[in-house]
A and B are shown apart, each in its own frame.
Chain A
Amino acid sequence: MSEYFHSVTLDKDACRGCITCVKRCPTEAIRVRNGKAQITGERCIDCGECIRVCPHHAKLAVTDPLSSIERFKYKVVLPPPSLFGQYKRQEDLELIRAALRRLGFDEVYEVAAAAELVSDATRRLMEQGTLNKPVISSACPAVLRLIRIRFPQLLENVLPLSAPMEVAARLARDQAVSETGLKPEEIGIAFITPCPAKVTAIKNPMGTEKSSVDLAISVSEIYPALLSAMNKCAKEGTGPDTAQSGRTGLSWGNSGGEAAATFTVRYLAADGIENVINVLEEMEGDRLSDQDFVELNACPAGCVGGVLNIENPYVAATRMKHLRNYRPVACNNIEGKAIPEEILWDAEVKPISALRLDPLPQHSMKMMREIEEIESKLYGLDCGSCGAPSCRALAEDIVLGHSTEDACIYLLKDKVEAVRASMLSLKLDSRDKSGDKPCV
């Protein structure tokens, strides 16, 4: 478990040990210890909420620099749909495509194109009627990891298809190999990522053993270089339209796009991690069984709300809506009857037991009793001064051996008060060494 890579990380120097991230973490994965935030890797889902809320910009996403693509002979870039909503000056898809080529990429493969294939595969699987309903989208890696940790029973409802990024990478590499005659490892596939969860999904893929994506470059890293390349391309003219995707694929960039592309009538799309958790709670209670498809995105408004994006999510979503209007409904469909193996999961996605107190239920029961006892002693203020998000979380930490009761400043104050009271009540009755005379 400690081997697990997380994109979300801490800049220790910038962290002041405030508890903003601790309070906002949806999986209670952060504690402040010794004045600095600490992430419990086992619980972190890389949703990026802490990056979003940190007032000191101490939470970072580990991504690759743009220059890292240089080590490959042939360079392919995968722009996600949400990238097309980042720039004000954006009348069509071609300008960004041309600008990416200008930055040194040999080929541009739109993730939205692969998304159309995933949508086609989803429709085919749902028509077969073999999936457990409601079917839950598997595209957002933060949501998928959240399900593994907190809602493992719902894994059997998760769509067993790879995310469009992964499908795009596989198809792009195959295409580059056949076009250039180079070896697969000489081709570099770089995804432009709107969020840390996608970076983690590349290093620790779910539904497959190894990701086909080589590099993850953040939108914020490429943004200025791409902007200046776009300005130059706009002056010189962009050439013929080579865009690969239609409305269906591009709409995956915002919440509801994937669900609408299933062509089912009964679907639900929720975005923002708290809303996602509420919907999963409902599903776990069997209260959404009338739905066919449930799309869940950890970020507000969907991938356009990714924490590594530049533009306001709602502004970006509006721009993308205009952009889509000039595109055909879809440009990509699965040829033939069978769903290609590039789209299907080839490894099982298993539950992660990060919530249970102990592998042995009897031990867990005992620990739970101790937690209840400690919690009843605490003040219930959830002030966070101890570094845990709530009094309950502190009680759990104490029982798990990660903290002590002295971490609670109110209990400590009571203790100091008790010491003070007993000091004051002391009757100083000591004698000198001879034994008879009082010391005064």
Chain B
Amino acid sequence: MSDMSGNSLHYHYIVPGDDFTQAGAASSAVKQILKQLGLNPQTIRKMSISLYEGEINMVIHAGGGEIDVDIDDKKIVAVLTDYGPGIEDVDLAMQAGWSTASEQVRGLGFGAGMGLPNMKKYSDELIINTTVGAGTKVTIVVNIEN
């Protein structure tokens, strides 16, 4: 994954499903690390916003999952893996305002249909691999600019 294997960082987080009290904990922890690394604020902002959206999506739609984050001196790569229902129509899901979130979830202020569009907007690369009924793997790449 990393060009300089001796100088990369790896983090692993488990995201519990349907627990809104803990939603955002992983992206918050990653943000703190990026701040300590002294990265450009814009880079930190891009990664923490897109990761937060991905993390929330896992909680709302997929019953949780796992997040792996790799940081080297060129880029930050976050891989979000879940074993949820998958996304039937990725193009549709990428449209702003489109959501399959339940009324209950919307009542909590989530599910506005901005998750994937925001992830696209704030990342340098977004790769979605999904299989209906088996799960989704989302890869977010943010380049490190100094």
Interface-forming stretch among A194-202, A315-323, A358-366? A358-366
| A365-B41 CB under 8 A given contacts A285-B52, A355-B36, A372-B9 | no
Q: Is the interface of A mostly helix, strand, loop or mixed?
A: helix
**Is B41 a contact partner of A368 (Cβ separation < 8 A)?**
no
What residues of B have a CB within 8 angstroms of the CB of A174 in the complex?
none
| A368-B9 CB under 8 A given contacts A153-B45, A284-B45, A285-B49 | yes
What residues of B have a CB within 8 angstroms of the CB of A150 in the complex?
35
**Is B38 a contact partner of A364 (Cβ separation < 8 A)?**
yes
Taking a contact as CB atoms closer than 8 A, the residue among A153, A284, A365 that contacts B37 in the complex is A365
Query: Does B7 interact with chain A (Cβ within 8 Å)?
Result: yes
Binary flags per residue of B60-76, CB closer than 8 Å to A gives 1, else 0: 00000000000111000
**Is B45 a contact partner of A368 (Cβ separation < 8 A)?**
no
Per the bound structure, the CA–CA distance linking A338 and B3 in Å amounts to 56
**Is A368 a contact partner of B73 (Cβ separation < 8 A)?**
no
Query: Does A179 interact with chain B (Cβ within 8 Å)?
Result: no
Count of A-B residue pairs with CB < 8 Å: 57
Residue of A285, A359, A362, A396 most packed against chain B (CB within 10 A): A285
What residues of B have a CB within 8 angstroms of the CB of A362 in the complex?
7, 73
Q: How large is the interface on B (under 10, 10 to 19, 20 to 34, 35 or more residues)?
A: 20 to 34
**Is B9 a contact partner of A369 (Cβ separation < 8 A)?**
yes
What residues of B have a CB within 8 angstroms of the CB of A372 in the complex?
9
| A364-B37 CB under 8 A given contacts A153-B45, A281-B28, A285-B48 | yes
What residues of A have a CB within 8 angstroms of the CB of B41 in the complex?
152-153
What residues of B have a CB within 8 angstroms of the CB of A231 in the complex?
none
**Is A361 a contact partner of B9 (Cβ separation < 8 A)?**
no
**Is A365 a contact partner of B36 (Cβ separation < 8 A)?**
no
Q: How large is the interface on A (under 10, 10 to 19, 20 to 34, 35 or more residues)?
A: 20 to 34
What residues of A have a CB within 8 angstroms of the CB of B45 in the complex?
153, 284, 286
**Is A368 a contact partner of B49 (Cβ separation < 8 A)?**
no
**Is A368 a contact partner of B33 (Cβ separation < 8 A)?**
yes
Binary flags per residue of B19-63, CB closer than 8 Å to A gives 1, else 0: 000001001100101011111011011001100100000000000
| Closest Cβ–Cβ distance, residue B115 to chain A (whole Å) | 12
| Closest Cβ–Cβ distance, residue A26 to chain B (whole Å) | 14
Query: Does A402 interact with chain B (Cβ within 8 Å)?
Result: no
Question: B residues within 8 Å of A by Cβ?
Answer: 7-9, 24, 27-28, 31, 33, 35-39, 41-42, 44-45, 48-49, 52, 71-73, 144, 146
Question: A residues within 8 Å of B by Cβ?
Answer: 150, 152-153, 281, 284-286, 353, 355-359, 361-362, 364-366, 368-369, 372, 396
Beyond the given pairs A286-B45, A357-B38, A368-B36, 16 more chain A to chain B contacts, judged by CB atoms under 8 angstroms and listed by A's residue number, are: A153-B41, A284-B45, A284-B48, A285-B24, A285-B52, A353-B38, A355-B35, A355-B38, A361-B37, A361-B38, A361-B73, A361-B146, A362-B73, A365-B7, A368-B33, A369-B9
**Would you mind naming 19 contact pairs between A and B with Cβ atoms under 8 Å apart?**
A152-B41, A153-B44, A285-B27, A285-B48, A285-B52, A286-B45, A353-B38, A356-B37, A361-B146, A362-B7, A364-B36, A365-B8, A365-B37, A365-B72, A365-B73, A368-B9, A368-B33, A372-B9, A396-B36
